């Protein structure tokens, strides 16, 4: 409980010549200020705690998924490292991420408990849960293209966090389109890329241009870094939110160009 506002308000009300009544009013106003400051401090502390839990779970689960088939390949290690690089983690954060990744690879690691704890920490924050799945998907696609037990395991994690099958498909589509935009030959799978672009925005080819623009704006708002940060996304992972926004933009631009939209 803070008292600064009450004391300052009471003193100020008195010295300005309003006497005891002014002092009482000053204390009342100061109390409102202190209450607001307390709530703001509590929210900041809570968000920081969520951020720490989110960071820890991200790399523990990533390690567990990499070990899903019984061994962790060099490609899967490189994929996890790639996520760390893309997030632009500091040296200390990379060290911590590697430790958590190693913990997730251990036989005694309890995946179900880890996901349950994350789910509780992110209660009422569906966008944060989606970011978690997106990060796991990025590593899994680069590690082994979601082959073997990884896909059903990740789909199960997503479901436990409240994501639908459609959302899971949207995340995969967005990441595959983004990967193709950077170095993979586009011509051969142009139709598939367009189909994935519609999936990224959560629309269908038969939807109107107006509906597509609305969906695009909704996705941009959902992935806005400031909004995700307010929900507890750690600063170390805001780079992902920026990259996710870029994926939404890429999907919309592909649809716009193919349809000849003027918007």
The pLDDT value recorded for residue 178 is: 67
CA distances from 217 to 54, 209, 244, 249, 256 (A): 26, 12, 13, 10, 14
Rounded distance between C-alpha atoms, residue 34 and residue 252, angstroms: 46
pTM reported for the whole predicted model? 0.66
CA distances from 199 to 21, 185, 204 (A): 64, 20, 7
Mean pLDDT for each 10-residue chunk of the chain (263 residues)?
A: 44 46 48 48 57 91 95 95 87 94 96 95 86 93 94 97 91 76 50 82 88 90 78 72 82 88 75
The pLDDT value recorded for residue 12 is: 44
């Amino acid at each position: 409980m803070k008292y600064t506002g009450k004391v300052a308000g009471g003193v100020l009300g008195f010295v300005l010549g309003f006497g005891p009544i002014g002092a009482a009013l000053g204390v009342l106003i100061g109390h409102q200020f202190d209450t607001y400051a307390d709530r703001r401090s509590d929210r900041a502390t809570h968000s920081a705690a969520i951020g720490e839990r989110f960071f820890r779970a991200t790399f523990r689960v990533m390690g567990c998924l990499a070990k899903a088939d019984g061994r962790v390949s060099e490609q899967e290690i490189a994929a996890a490292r790639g996520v760390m690089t893309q997030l632009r983690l500091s040296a200390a954060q990379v060290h911590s991420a590697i430790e958590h990744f190693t913990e997730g690879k251990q036989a005694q690691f309890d995946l179900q408990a880890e996901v349950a704890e994350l789910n509780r920490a992110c209660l009422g924050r569906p966008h944060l849960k989606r970011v978690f799945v997106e990060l796991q998907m990025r590593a899994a696609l680069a590690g082994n293209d979601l082959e073997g037990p990884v896909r059903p395991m990740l789909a199960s994690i997503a479901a436990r966090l409240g994501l639908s099958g459609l959302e899971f498909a949207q995340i995969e589509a967005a990441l595959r389109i983004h990967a193709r935009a950077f170095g993979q030959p586009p011509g051969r799978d142009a139709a598939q890329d367009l189909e994935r672009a519609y999936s990224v925005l959560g629309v269908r080819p038969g939807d109107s241009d107006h509906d597509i623009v609305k969906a695009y704006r909704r996705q941009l708002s959902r992935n806005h870094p400031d909004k995700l940060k307010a929900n507890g996304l750690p600063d170390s992972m805001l780079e992902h939110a920026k990259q996710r926004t870029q994926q939404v933009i890429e999907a919309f631009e592909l649809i716009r160009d193919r349809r000849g939209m003027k918007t």
